[in-house]
Structure 1
């Protein structure tokens, strides 16, 4: 009888070890990728896509030789900062004011010259970044694009 109990105990021990081994293997199968992910796969940083934020259009009076001219200007700001839209909305009055001052110092001939378009965009970028910085706003602007410019 002792021999029978001994073989039953051994059988139960083997079955318990087998079940424990199987349960551990199943658990590692489910949890394994999560546990080994930091060690096996390099973590890729998400690609930051540039966003474009259109500004309200400007209609300004430009001094001319004989009579005043008018300019319609539509601009878009390019940035990789997804939070810039709220900054641009809050800072809209100071941005518009600084751009109005900048363009009011230009003559009709300067603005009408197509070769000056890139330098005007660069100047507007510098002006906007400066105004944002002076007023304690984030100034993560990559580029200023003129999407429409009509002189009359």
Structure 2
């Protein structure tokens, strides 16, 4: 065999090996997904505990959003001469209500993150025109960051400000 033939044979073997490996992985994933759909709930629960994300099934998302109200939060902000109070009521918009059913257990995390957000805010800053839109964006980013380590973050579509009072 010549050197060119050896190189061509080697390249052909590598390509064939890559194709066979890819086909094996793809068919394994397909088989596992098919068998999980047909298997009992015990097997599904076992796969849900797996650390492989492609093996677990996601909860079906609804087309219409649902809203989950959070507890009222009252915070203190700085003013020029005195302290002021901010009362917030928030609602979480989701298309997977089952995914955020335990969000009320995380209210200390929510309150802590809101306290940190409002610690740098002033009364004048919150009274400016257009501050509600920017505040709502900041609230969403703050809560998504607070839930970053949990599975709840994947089910939060939006954070709505349902009541906002500054005194």
TM-score (norm. length: structure 2): 0.59
Give the whole-Å Cα distance in 2 for the aligned partners of 1:105 and 1:48: 38
Task: Compare 46-55 and 120-129 and name the one that shifted more.
Answer: 46-55
1:111 equivalent in structure 2: 126
1:22 equivalent in structure 2: none
Give the whole-Å Cα distance in 2 for the aligned partners of 1:85 and 1:52: 10
Q: What count of residue pairs does the alignment treat as equivalent? A: 107
2:17 equivalent in structure 1: none
Give ranges in structure 2 of 5+ residues lacking alignment. Answer: 1-59
Give the whole-Å Cα distance in 2 for the aligned partners of 1:119 and 1:141: 18
Give ranges in structure 1 of 5+ residues lacking alignment. Answer: 1-44
1:82 equivalent in structure 2: 97
Give the match's secondary structure for 1:53: strand
Deviation string, structure 1 residues 56-113 (Cα, Å, up to 9, x no partner): 0111111111000111111111111122432311221111110111012111111122
Contact 1:87 1:137 in 2 (8 A): no
Give the whole-Å Cα distance in 2 for the aligned partners of 1:46 and 1:116: 32
Give the match's secondary structure for 2:143: helix
Distance 1:128 1:67, change over 3 A: same
Give the match's secondary structure for 1:91: helix
The structure, 1 or 2, with the larger RCO (C-alpha pairs under 8 Å, 6+ apart) is 1
Q: 1:132 aligns with which of 147, 153, 162?
A: 147
Is 1:70 aligned to residue 85 of structure 2?
A: yes
Larger Rg: 1
Give the match's secondary structure for 2:115: helix
Give the match's secondary structure for 1:105: coil
